[in-house]
Chain A
Amino acid sequence: MSNPKHDKGEHYLTTPKAEPFLERLIFNNRAIILIAFFFLTLFLGYNAVKIEPDASFERMIPLEHPYIVNMLEHRDDLENLGNFVRIAVEVEEGDIFTAEYMETLKQITDEVFYLNGVDRSGLKSLWTSNVRWVEVTEQGFQGGTVIPDGYDGSRASLEQLRQNVLRSNEVGRLISDNFRSTIVYAPLYENNPETGEPLDYGEFSRQLEEKIRDKYEAQNPSIEIHIVGFAKKVGDLIEGIGSIAWFAGITIILTTLLLFGYSRCITGTLVPVFTSIIAVFLQLGTLRLLGYGLDPYSVLVPFLVFAIGISHGVQIVNAMAVEAAKGFDSVTAARLAFRALYIPGMLALISDAFGFLTLFFIEIDVIRDLAVAAGIGVAFVILTNLVLHVLIMSYLGISKGGVRHVQNHGEKQDRKWRVMSYFAHPGVAPISLLIAVIGLGLGLYYKQGLKVGDLDQGAPELRADSRYNKDNAYIINNYSTSADVLVVMVKTEEEQCTQYNVLRAMDNLQWELQNTPGVQSSASLADVSKIVTKALNEGNWKWYEISRNQTIINASIREAPAGLINTNCDLTPVLVFLEDHKAETLETVTERVEEFASNNNNDEYTFMLAAGNAGVEAATNDVISNAKNMMLIFVYGVVASLCLLTFRSIRAVLCILIPLGLTSILAEAIMAMSGIGIKVATLPVIALGVGIGVDYGIYIYSKLEKFLLEGKTLQEAYFETLRSTGKAVIFTGVTLGIGVVTWIFSPIKFQADMGLLLFFMFIWNMVGSIWLLPALARFLLRPDRMVAKARANK
């Protein structure tokens, strides 16, 4: 009882009686520590600025899933199946058979040819010599390039071009069905064959915009250019990461204003903002030193770090203002604030970190990276918030205005708190519970529609109305093609991949799949063999069949597209084009393939899943659905254990966790209703929401318990709780909400989804702890016994 004044407002568990060793260590070396922080910030800040955007494909997929293991094992054999861009050049009026259009197309083809990263031998457009028309004649075949010899843009040569196009078999592939656009198809090198450097997707995508889209749309106003392909999508994602800087700016400004409104003290506003930004720099710098880049997921962590830094910083400012109001000088006020807060602060932050740890259950690197980044961030928040922040404040002190604000404001607000304390009233509490039960029922009802996976058309990472997805929709509507491809790999002995039995089995599987709902079409060596066998028999469709004669098969696939046979001829893919990438579709199709594989795999051939974007998504969905329940159990288990450890009461745990559970269920209902699936981006939200959200409950409950133990009635105790900590809790919820709410405007769809859900969870968890927790306490807590028990323990 060395400092009775101070002891009054604090929890018995978390308030040490005398100045602890840490406090002495820190406050006796203030200047040294500040200088150390200065250099650390300089060093890590320098690294933070140099951190690079990184949208590595491999980190976004579940590397340990058997589908992905298969895919990566055979990635060299499957190369170039997926990595290409298609540039559709659309003419806005008339058709493509004009001299002007063909000239623009020629220039675009040339320009693409010289783009870094393009596999020039595979480049295809009307202007490349590998696009030909072929015709059966009495003597055999005749053919030529689609662009007629001696093309001069004249009416006659354009008419000849039209004829060639019609017999080229490229309508629907390179030429749209309505003859209003054609495609420049450019396969890409994953690694530059000369330098071995990996393709810079960001740079490649920028070049497509500058050198192709902007340049030629400006040069020929009657055309419009649509670009799709993995490289373009990744490029757009990387660009999307860049726009995050704007959100960061807006978040900082909003938070600063809010903080000033709260503290009415310039130093009490700027210092927490400053130290929280430093925490972000330290986190980013450390990430870079550890070899991480900023992927579209981990780019969001700095926002969380900033928000957590602010919301805990507020506690320091608040505590200092309270002490300063009692007349202490700034150093003493800072010491007292530190003494009061370092244990609860650390506890709260460590429980946040435990929440992040549960993300390790998801076997996807970006999510684990997210956990690492968030963990590092929280560690730095402990340092900047509890050390740097306190030390700076010990020099600067709280302004008089801030102190006055604390003194006046508390009294003015009492009436508000009085009203809110009725949440614990025996008449109001049952109504609250009833509302909660109704909310729970509604939540459970709507949550039934919750789906695993991405639900939207096109590239799910980007918004439906993004440029990329519009381009994608254009190409899907005008060409015979699907964006969702599942690749089944067929493994054979060396040089056996073209055997009759292998082709026949693939053909069987394909027909099985085409008769499966959700499958649009399929393609494999079997189709090539059939179509070429037909062509070799004078184009007569009656020969459209896989020949039993191996010599004929071999002749038929001699010119098979690269990617359908690997070098050793021991692997050949079946491409399955799907109508969409909804989880049910993927599940039905992969189940069908697995059934086929287990029934038919033999010495000659093995059917394996899976590659292609749909294969990756199927694997991801699988991992997500398996991880979901594990993660929920674990995160709630961890939070429950922490609460139990702190408060030693099951009833307390229930008071804190029931509002959280309600929020989780309502969040899932919101997901179901707004068409957000459980996916890589939204699963972590549950862990983050619960891990961070529990803080409010802990703050509220710890105060409530303290006042109850002092012998107050429940409502009175709750009034005191609100008076002392209600404002900080509301402020924390709002700050965290603001920290993530700007993401809703991100061009990257999953960031927007994460923003929406986290915003909801942060705000609603706060509401739950203030409104529902006291109502639960009315039914669950027995103040008499608590007092008796506390006395017995003493």
Chain B
Amino acid sequence: MATRLMCKTLGAACLGLSMALSAPTVFALADIIETPSRPTTLAPAHLLNDVDTAGDRIVAAGVRGHIIFSDDGGETWVQGEVPVSVTLTGVDFGTEQHGWAVGHSGVVLHSDDAGENWDLQLTGVRAAELAIESRQEQIDDMEQKLEEAPEEEKDELDWALGDLYFSLENLQADLEIGPVNPFLDVWFENDKHGFVVGAYGMFLRTTDGGKTWKDWAPKLENPSSFHLNSIGRITGGGLVIVGEAGQIFVSVDGGESWEKRESPYEGSLFGAIGTGNVNEILAFGLRGNIFFSSDLGRSWKVVPSESDATLNDGTVSEDGRITLVGNGGAVLMSTNGGDTFRPYFRDDREGVMDVVPVSGTNLLIVGEGGVKHTDARGKNLQ
């Protein structure tokens, strides 16, 4: 009687307690996409894969569903409430309030309060189902086309159809295991329109803030389903996706249609950023390779870097300095708009995944060892 009375007054807390007490001694651990990220003070010191700004707020995402934010330029951090515990790979804010984070198990998370609370919008299961439906449609179209096509084009179409079937079978096999594949990056234009890219050519688009998603992979000429590592907008409004095996795709119509660019590189590209000048792109990736284009990726030139550390991401500061960061503690700086870079290797040699400018010429880097405050060269601030 007393217990019931107390339960009424204490409400949810009591519910939790009675559940804990009545829980069976043996139960399997819940799947990580059903396990909320554990509140921890360790999050700022563990792997963070991406960082973005939401107004003055800095938001970073990493392992075990960690999303942390700071309102004082990275001095102190608060952990957001995240309903999953997967490794998160990307975070992007379309507005100061609306942000999205993506990660393993094909999760897409959304926050409408500048990163404090997150809800799960999509998982890898739904993403795979969308891709399978879309592949099925492509196959139907292709078979239709094949029937109507003149004899001399049939061979080529046959090949394309084969690729589609192969892709479909892979998707189905993966789905049998579960939500196996990760999203690797996310970009939102505003609080409605955005894209997520991921492993094996995963590419989805939403126009309603993530309520519904559409498989956008058919818009890319990516028959081998190469990983798509990064998506972002460059100065001038062009959208750029880069990925495995030198894949570069560019859209000049806000993502409706995409063009494959001839790549200067056979290895993986992990990022592409603008330089501050219209239509200029810096693409970079494996072994310190950096390429520069001033014409939206139609032509490229190699940028000397004096470093063979893989580069992961970069940023342009207000004063025009370009900073690229990468594995082995690499922090590369260009003060001439990306013509040349000077490398610095941090003492800890830990991988750096992303960077944002903070006060003065200082930087905030995130990566293998969590978040660190550095000077313009990448040296730790005392």
Q: Which residues of A contact B (CB under 8 A)?
A: 135-138, 166-167, 171, 501, 504-505, 508, 511-512, 514-515, 538-545, 547-550, 598-602, 604
Contacts and interface: CB of A to CB of B under 8 A. Distances in A.
Given A136-B286, A138-B287, A544-B87, A505 B29 contact: yes
Contacts of A166: 328, 345, 349
B32 A504 contact: yes
Given A539-B310, A540-B229, A541-B312, A548 B349 contact: no
B22 to A, nearest CB: 13
Contacts of A600: 26-29
A508 B29 contact: yes
B242 to A, nearest CB: 13
Given A138-B287, A505-B29, A540 B270 contact: yes
Given A167-B328, A547-B180, A598-B25, A511 B64 contact: yes
A549 B47 CA distance: 22
A549 B64 contact: no
A166 B267 CA distance: 23
Interface string B83-114: 00011011000000000000011000000000
B29 A504 contact: yes
B177 interface: yes
Given A508-B29, A547-B180, A549-B180, A136 B310 contact: yes
Given A136-B286, A600-B29, A601-B26, 6 more contacts: A137-B287, A501-B29, A511-B40, A515-B40, A542-B229, A542-B353
B63 to A, nearest CB: 7
B184 A538 contact: no
Residue from the set A138, A540, A543, A549 with the largest chain B CB neighbour count within 10 Å: A540
Nearest to A604: B28
A544 B63 contact: yes
B181 to A, nearest CB: 9
Nearest to A537: B227
A166 B343 CA distance: 15
Interface in B214-263: 229
Nearest to B227: A537
B315 interface: no
A548 B179 contact: yes
Given A166-B349, A505-B29, A601-B26, A549 B177 contact: yes
B49 interface: yes
Contacts of A599: 23, 25, 27
Contact of B349 (A171, A549, A604): A171
Nearest to B35: A508
A21 B312 CA distance: 97
22 contacts: A135-B308, A136-B286, A136-B310, A138-B266, A138-B268, A166-B349, A511-B38, A511-B64, A515-B40, A538-B286, A540-B270, A541-B327, A541-B351, A541-B368, A544-B87, A545-B182, A548-B177, A598-B25, A599-B25, A599-B27, A600-B28, A600-B29
Interface in B300-350: 308, 310, 312, 327-328, 345, 349
Contacts of B104: 545
**8 closest A-B pairs by CB:** A138-B267, A545-B87, A542-B89, A545-B104, A548-B180, A548-B178, A549-B180, A542-B49
A541 B180 contact: no
A136 B40 contact: no
Nearest to A542: B89
B42 A539 contact: no
Contacts of B179: 548
Q: Among A505, A512, A547, A548, which residue has the most Cβ atoms of chain B within 10 A? A: A548
Given A136-B310, A505-B29, A544 B229 contact: no
Given A539-B310, A548-B180, A602-B28, A136 B287 contact: yes
Contacts of A541: 47, 49, 312, 327, 351, 353, 367-368
A545 B182 CA distance: 10
Interface string B193-231: 000000000000000000000000000000000000100
Interface in B343-382: 345, 349, 351, 353, 367-368
B367 A542 contact: no
Contacts of A511: 38, 40, 64
B308 to A, nearest CB: 8
A415 to B, nearest CB: 71
A600 B266 CA distance: 47
A171 B345 CA distance: 14
A539 B23 CA distance: 41
A589 to B, nearest CB: 16
Nearest to B63: A544
A240 to B, nearest CB: 39
Contacts of A543: 182
Interface in B169-191: 174, 177-180, 182, 184
A207 B96 CA distance: 67
A542 B368 CA distance: 10
Contacts of B266: 138
Contacts of B42: 514-515
Interface in B17-42: 23, 25-29, 32, 38, 40, 42
Nearest to B245: A138
A159 B29 CA distance: 50
A88 B225 CA distance: 49
Contacts of B89: 542
A630 B184 CA distance: 61
Contacts of A138: 266-268, 286-287
Contacts of B349: 166, 171
A167 B309 CA distance: 9
A167 B308 CA distance: 11
A137 B286 contact: yes
Contacts of A598: 25
Query: Interface centre among B104, B184, B367, by most A CB within 10 Å?
Result: B104
A140 to B, nearest CB: 11
A440 B322 CA distance: 72
Contact of A544 (B47, B105, B287): B47
A548 B29 contact: no
Nearest to A547: B180
B25 A539 contact: no
B21 to A, nearest CB: 13
Nearest to B265: A138
Contacts of B28: 501, 600, 602, 604
Contacts of A542: 49, 87, 89-90, 182, 184, 229, 353
Contacts of B182: 542-543, 545
B305 to A, nearest CB: 15
Contacts of B229: 540, 542
Nearest to B23: A599
B66 to A, nearest CB: 11
Contacts of B267: 137-138
Contacts of B178: 548
Contacts of B47: 541, 544
